[in-house]
Amino acid sequence: MSNIFVLLVGIDKYSDFPLNGCVNDTTAMESFLQKSFSDDELKVKILTDTEATRNNLIASFSFFDDAKDGDTCLFYYSGHGSRMPAPKDLDNEGDPYVQTFVCFDSREAEGRDLIDKEVAFLIRKATQNKKIDFIAITDSCFSGGVTKGASEDSDSKKYRRVSPSPKNINSVKDYHGFDEDSYDRTRDGRLKVKKGPHLHLAASSPTELSAEILLDGKIQGVFTHCLLKILETENREINYRSLMDRVKGNVKNTVKDQTPEMHLIGDISPDDQQHIFLTRNKIVNQNRYTVSFDTSYDWCVNAGPWQNVMEGDQLILQDKSHSKLNVLKAVRPDQSQITKPSHIQDKSVQIPALVERKDLRTTAITLHIDITPEARQHLLNAADEFNSAYFHLTSEPNGLYQIKQTNNGDLIFVRTQEDKLIDTPKTVDNRDSALELLSNLEKVLKWEQMKKLENPDSTLKNVYKIRLFKLHSSEREEITDPFAINDLWWKGDDWEMPSIEIELENLSSHPLYASFAYLNVEYGVKADFFDNDMKLQPRDTKKVILKTHGGDTTKIPLHIDKELLSKGYFEITEYLKIFIGTSRIDTERYAQENLGATNEKSDITNTITKGPYIGPPVSDSWDVALLGFRIIHPRDEKNIHEAVNGKIVLNGITVEVPTGLTGSIGLSSSNVVTKNTTGITPPAYASKDNGIIPFNLVPGDTTQPITDIIELFDVSNPELVTHENPVILHLTKHKGEEDKDLLPVGYDEETGLYYPVGFHTEDHTVHITTLPTPTTSDAAVTKRSFTGSIKIYFLKVIGRRIGMRYDYPRLAIPQLSLDNEVSYNYKSADVAAAVEKADSIVLFIHGIIGDTENMAKCITTPLKDASTLSNKCDLILTYDYENLHTTIEENAELLARKLHEVGLTNNHSKKLTIVAHSMGGLVCRHFIEQLKGQTVVSKLIMLGTPNNGTPWADVRDMIDLLLTYALNNLITLKPWMQVLLAASKRFVKGTQVTLKQMNAHSGIYANLNTGKDPETPYVIIAGNTKLLTTGHGDIMERLKKLFSRKQMMYDTLNILFQKPNDIAVSTESITQLRNSDNWSLKPIRKEIASDHMSYFFMQEVLDDIAEHIIVPPSVN
């Protein structure tokens, strides 16, 4: 995975001419990047104010030293700038001045600015001999070089950030980098600085000032504010060229005499302008249209803003000439004027053409690998026919949305990042059903497009004002930021519905018109709710009028209707789009029915809504504003005393409660719980990158914040809930969710830890086996003062369920797809044939938890020498076996039998290296030491193997501990989350035979550790979690305190945590082989920073495995 290295610099607190918005700029940029990229790929360093001295700024560029080929580096600067005469011995390309960064200490005695040529040297050093993308963003005066200024403008709310020129002008040789090989000599002997390849986004030209201004309630640089607004609006899916074109328009609409620029510096390709922000992905798209002659507009193409065809696009004629023609302007929403095709004389001809857009405006929809070939082909054919201006289908895994296949064969589409179901599952088995699915998908994307629609070239930004008011009883409260997502709650004992009022004020000297489009939660766009003929005379103020059956009103109630409530929509976010123009804007053309709305016509071709692209409205000048409302409805509660035969029904969920339990029970959402006074972060967010997200408990296809919490109030006897006496939830099986593994989670306020409080069974029930302590609840939602409630969060694992669905044992050849999905060829004849051809073989064997799927994924992981494990041998095999109820001895015998079946018999000629995890190492040791396996195995590499036993008496307890680590982001178990949850189901019932065998006192060890020489080299790799993180001792104590209520588990932790361990086994138990002093081959031991589940994701481990694979001399 490529990384993004970011250095952010912001300086306000100068000793003279202090600024106000630079640190705000830096904070806003950091926040945007953190929302846009994962913690794993984003590496950020920040210097603000006193930290940003000249020396520190120079030294901080060493942060980019760790960047490797394929990575991206971003340097962002917000602070004072200046200009100074260029030193005489510097070639400055005809410019008598150099631009400078004014560092925090630049104006102190003996202080110096950082000149643009020093920055160029630092960037060159960072990019030298590397294939990385380097982006510099400088929001400063004269920013086409570098800088920012600070003299007050005539507008008291605008400030120019320019500092006086420095007093000391030194020789160029006094500046950083000029004593190194960083320059060339010109013919006249002056120094010309070498430049590293990078893209520079500048707030202004080298001769202009840059402004900071009060924006959205805080002072920010205008350039940074506009840049981030557009990136957020476009979900970052915009290339540099389009981004800067739009930023330029927005900045020019806000301040005068500031022109943002983009510069391609050094050896950089012009194509890099087409890269999406901070990625290497390019934006290109093509559609087929028709070119013909029009008597009114000369040569035209039958495409315009509705089809996402804009000025600056090109047409490629699909005739013999393949000429390229420019799109000049839109003359109608679906027609554009183009340059004349010089080779065409006959004005009656029609020529097919493809559109080559200057930037990609359609959304990538990933076709998941699990989709059957037949359904995939139906979709691809339908997409060609549909020819959407909103989306394109791709097999790449990083689409914003995905079309996936459920276990029963239906197709669903989800948001990739959230794994959230958007529409009901559809059976796609022919053209019509594929078109219907794509039609619904386009409806969602049209709704999204309407939401983010803007006019970057608007001349009306500052000529009107919108005021938003909350209404409650007789109170009227103005909302300070109408353009934020504002929360509107049901209030009072009778849960009064929230209402709003909207005022529009015309600040200009000419009339303005206003019209509206309401975007509801079900992806409908309604244009008939409001008075769309509103006219505002100069200096006039009017209230927005809602049209109702009872007459017009300015009081706009916001509610959640009963049908939505029945589906579990207790919290929704809806939007009002306001169009302002110098002539009336017709919003009716944007209207669309809700997703899933029925159509009386049976012909599928009449039900497909191939709606036009939402392009600029037809008006002399126009602008848009977006108001967002999060409407929150109270959840219903039921008294446990109302249970019939111990059962209560909540929104389709049947809850069984233990006899004698008191209190009440209801549903809630983690989106609401985050607003409570405790400030507790919900587990799906606390767990960051562990592949778990909230699970929607309520039947239906909720597209807004989901119901993922069961809350219990006033419970006086929580101790009644135990493993033997659980609360049981009978969940409705959602279509598209049947293969999800669930986890109920509680929060312990004393330790600050989330932990599992039950398990999910195969029959889709959830057993709550312990109740967490109460935490504070929000009275606005629960009708209660802050008395607290017991909250149980429900999480699901992203992705398909894996493993444990085949007959044991299985020896197979693993195969990895491009998106790292594992498949197996377990046909004995095929495996035997592959063994026959191979000289060097590696065999993976799993432990007591899971299977070989996640082990196999490491075979394509790059090693330190840039090769992979698959390059180190001729053949890789996997061995999966029943690891719970079958004894270690039996599994060793089954392993011997399977190897014999494929030709790996005693004294074979191959080199077989076994890599075994956990208990798998004991299976292999028994095979080697007791069943003459030393004549079959060339080397055994053991990872986390309990060679002297484990203190765990119950695998479920060990799984709970591992999950607790992951839930609290103490370790990353993302690849193993599905395995752990699936394993927890299997361990619900039955005797854990193999775990008993790993008891240090009564297990297999009396027979295994006899001192018998295996005559086989052993490599032992042992994890030590104390090496993973600081504060490890505190974590251990918190975990012991958390599980003190489970005496057996507490005792286990007390024993285990006294010594270094990998969570499951002590490091000593892994490394020590008793009675091995007289072995002919001494075991090799190594201790590393790892937990029990992460060995195969540690670079150091994989390199060690590669080092110890035995290769025949003929292969070396």
What pTM did the predictor assign? Answer: 0.50
Q: Is 858 among the domain residues? A: yes
pLDDT at 1055: 76
Higher pLDDT, 86 or 442: 442
48-57, 244-253, 438-447, 542-551: range with lowest mean pLDDT: 244-253
Q: Is 1031 among the domain residues? A: no
Q: Is 924 among the domain residues? A: yes
Closest CA to 11 of 1, 30, 25: 25
Is the pLDDT confidence value at 301 over 90? no
20-34, 194-208, 588-602, 844-858: range with lowest mean pLDDT: 588-602
Residues 862, 918 within the same domain: yes
How confident is the model over 467-489, as pLDDT tens digits? 999 887 778 889 888 887 777 76
Residues 263, 341 within the same domain: no
Q: How many domains does the chain have?
A: 6
Q: In angstroms, what CA-CA distances link 593 with 217, 573, 896?
A: 36, 17, 64
The mean per-residue pLDDT over the stretch 245-251 comes to 70
Q: Is 195 among the domain residues? A: yes
CB atoms within 10 A of CB 952: 26
Confidence of residue 843 (pLDDT cuts 50, 70, 90): very high
CB atoms within 10 A of CB 652: 15
Q: Is 802 among the domain residues? A: no
Residues 756, 665 within the same domain: yes
The mean per-residue pLDDT over the stretch 385-408 comes to 81
Is the pLDDT confidence value at 738 over 60? no
Determine the Cα–Cα distance for residues 722 and 716; give it in Å rounded to an integer: 15
Residues 227, 334 within the same domain: no
Q: Where in the sequence is the domain holding 658, given as residue range(s)?
A: 637-797
Of 444, 475, 508, the residue that ends a domain is 444
**Backbone angles phi and psi of 621, in degrees to 5:** -150, 140
Instruction: Determine what percent of the chain is predicted with pLDDT higher than 70.
Output: 80
β pairing state of 840-845 and 810-816: unpaired
Residues 201, 350 within the same domain: no
pLDDT at 589: 64
Is the pLDDT confidence value at 700 over 70? no
Determine the Cα–Cα distance for residues 111 and 103; give it in Å rounded to an integer: 9
What CATH number does residue 861 fall under? Answer: 3.40.50.1820
Residues 367, 416 within the same domain: yes
Determine the Cα–Cα distance for residues 536 and 579; give it in Å rounded to an integer: 13
pLDDT at 596: 63
β pairing state of 822-825 and 840-845: unpaired
Confidence of residue 104 (pLDDT cuts 50, 70, 90): very high
Please give the DSSP secondary-structure letter assigned to residue 583.
Answer: S
Of 750, 769, 797, the residue that ends a domain is 797
The mean per-residue pLDDT over the stretch 936-951 comes to 94
Is the pLDDT confidence value at 25 over 80? yes
Of 282-286, 692-696, 717-721, 762-766, the range with the highest mean pLDDT is 717-721
Q: Is 836 among the domain residues? A: yes
Residues 96, 232 within the same domain: yes
The mean per-residue pLDDT over the stretch 912-935 comes to 96
Confidence of residue 423 (pLDDT cuts 50, 70, 90): confident
Of 324-333, 864-873, 1043-1052, the range with the highest mean pLDDT is 864-873
The mean per-residue pLDDT over the stretch 764-786 comes to 66
Of 386, 414, 444, the residue that ends a domain is 444
Higher pLDDT, 420 or 410: 410
How confident is the model over 288-300, as pLDDT tens digits? 677 888 777 789 8
The mean per-residue pLDDT over the stretch 274-294 comes to 72
Residues 912, 861 within the same domain: yes
Indicate the average pLDDT of the chain. 81
Confidence of residue 15 (pLDDT cuts 50, 70, 90): confident
Residues 949, 1074 within the same domain: yes
Is the pLDDT confidence value at 771 over 70? yes
- Helices and strands in the chain: count of H runs, count of E runs: 24, 59
Is the pLDDT confidence value at 462 over 60? yes
What residues contact 52, with CB distance under 8 A and at least 6 apart?
9, 10, 11, 79, 103, 104
| Sheet-wide strand order for 411-415 | 391-394, 363-367, 401-405, 411-415, 420-421
Residues 229, 350 within the same domain: no
Half-sphere exposure in the Cβ direction for 485 (13 Å, CA): 9
Of 48-57, 257-266, 602-611, 1042-1051, the range with the highest mean pLDDT is 48-57
Closest CA to 845 of 886, 807, 892: 892
How confident is the model over 953-1011, as pLDDT tens digits? 677 788 888 888 778 776 665 556 666 666 666 555 555 688 888 888 778 998 888 88
Determine the Cα–Cα distance for residues 532 and 545; give it in Å rounded to an integer: 9
Residues 370, 341 within the same domain: no
Determine the Cα–Cα distance for residues 34 and 41; give it in Å rounded to an integer: 10
What CATH number does residue 348 fall under? Answer: 2.40.30
Determine the Cα–Cα distance for residues 114 and 175; give it in Å rounded to an integer: 8
Higher pLDDT, 838 or 703: 838
65-69, 229-233, 926-930: range with lowest mean pLDDT: 229-233
Q: Is 351 among the domain residues? A: yes
Confidence of residue 407 (pLDDT cuts 50, 70, 90): low
Instruction: Determine what percent of the chain is predicted with pLDDT higher than 90.
Output: 31
Half-sphere exposure in the Cβ direction for 620 (13 Å, CA): 7
Closest CA to 849 of 881, 824, 871: 881
The mean per-residue pLDDT over the stretch 405-423 comes to 74
pLDDT at 419: 59
Of 458-467, 808-817, 819-828, 888-897, the range with the highest mean pLDDT is 888-897
Consecutive H or E run containing 654: strand 653-656
What CATH number does residue 160 fall under? Answer: 3.40.50.1460
pLDDT at 959: 81
Q: Tokens 């070119």 appear where?
A: 291
Confidence of residue 225 (pLDDT cuts 50, 70, 90): very high
Token pair, residue 853, equals: 């799927």
Consecutive H or E run containing 966: helix 955-967
The mean per-residue pLDDT over the stretch 516-527 comes to 88
Q: Is 295 among the domain residues? A: yes
Residues 387, 310 within the same domain: no
Higher pLDDT, 102 or 145: 102
pLDDT at 421: 67
